[in-house]
Amino acid sequence: MKIAVGYARTSSATNVGNDKDSLKRQIAAIQSYAKSNHIQVVETFYDASVKGTDNILDRKQFAEMLNYCSVNGIKTIIVEGVDRFARDLLVQLTGYDYLKKQGIQLIPANAPDYFLRDDPTSQLIRNVLSSLAMHEKASLCSKLAAARARKKAVTGRCEGRKPITVTAPDAVSYARKLASVRKRKPSLRKVAMALADAGFVNPNGKIYSAMTVRSMLGK
């Protein structure tokens, strides 16, 4: 059987309390839908005195519910109606989009297909959200490019594998010393062997290759 969590919300403190029917009504609607669709509601979260225009991530119980879903592998949230999720259309669609990206399905018990509708207003907001996401990505790429350019201007490089002069400066210094103290320049292989004898080897514990030694000597 599919499992889910329920979410309930009331805006006003006047609707909170054992003698009030708002929470009871919402839970009953959630349970009724779940039973009709062979879903087991394993937990219900309730945000009391929380406005329907508040961002979903700013709601304490909603945030706890998301954590619960993540820990327990739950992918379905049932609410009595869309207005219990959010009253503001933009909050509804941005919230739904966020949940969708988390792999979570949101089901309003009184209108299960609500977020699948294709009316002009919903299309417009989805297009705006898509444009905003593209703008955010482009802006981030631009900032990263500028940061890389600044780093390159200071260090001369910013990406790729670090040169041997950075990763093994002591080995480089020793190799250059070996090459400079002898009248006859030793072969790259002999320099590599001398480095190994002195305890300088590559990250894998093996003798440096001739190509690496060449880089050490700046050739």
Q: What is the pLDDT along the chain (219 residues), one digit of tens a residue?
A: 899 999 999 987 665 655 468 899 999 999 999 999 999 999 999 999 899 899 999 999 999 999 999 999 999 999 999 999 998 888 888 899 899 999 999 999 998 988 877 778 767 766 676 577 677 778 888 888 887 778 777 766 655 667 777 888 888 888 888 777 766 777 888 888 888 888 888 888 889 888 888 888 876
Examine the domain organization and report whether 117 and 170 are in the same domain. no
Question: Looking at residue 82, which CATH number applies to its domain?
Answer: 3.40.50.1390
pLDDT at position 38:
96
pLDDT at position 182:
62
pLDDT at position 219:
65
Asked whether residue 36 is assigned to any structural domain, the reply reads yes
Q: Which residues pair with 43 in a beta bridge?
A: 5
Specify the number of domains making up the chain: 2
Asked whether residue 145 is assigned to any structural domain, the reply reads no
Q: Which residue range forms the structural domain that includes residue 194?
A: 164-216
- Domain stops at, among 58, 92, 121: 121
- Domain stops at, among 121, 154, 182: 121
Examine the domain organization and report whether 169 and 90 are in the same domain. no
**b/e map of 93-107 (b: 16 or more CB within 10 Å)?**
bbbbbebeeeebebb
pLDDT at position 13:
63
Asked whether residue 105 is assigned to any structural domain, the reply reads yes
- Domain stops at, among 53, 88, 121: 121
Examine the domain organization and report whether 10 and 104 are in the same domain. yes
Asked if residues 65 and 99 have their Cβ atoms less than 8 Å apart, the reply is: no
pLDDT at position 157:
62
Examine the domain organization and report whether 30 and 114 are in the same domain. yes
**C-alpha separations of 114 from 31, 57, 108 in Å:** 19, 21, 7
Asked whether residue 144 is assigned to any structural domain, the reply reads no
pLDDT at position 15:
53
pLDDT at position 113:
86
Asked whether residue 133 is assigned to any structural domain, the reply reads no
- Tokens read off for 51: 């406005």
**C-alpha separations of 41 from 14, 70, 79, 109 in Å:** 27, 15, 11, 13
Burial classification of residue 201, based on how many CB atoms lie within 10 Å of its CB (0-12 exposed, 13-18 middle, 19 or more buried)? middle
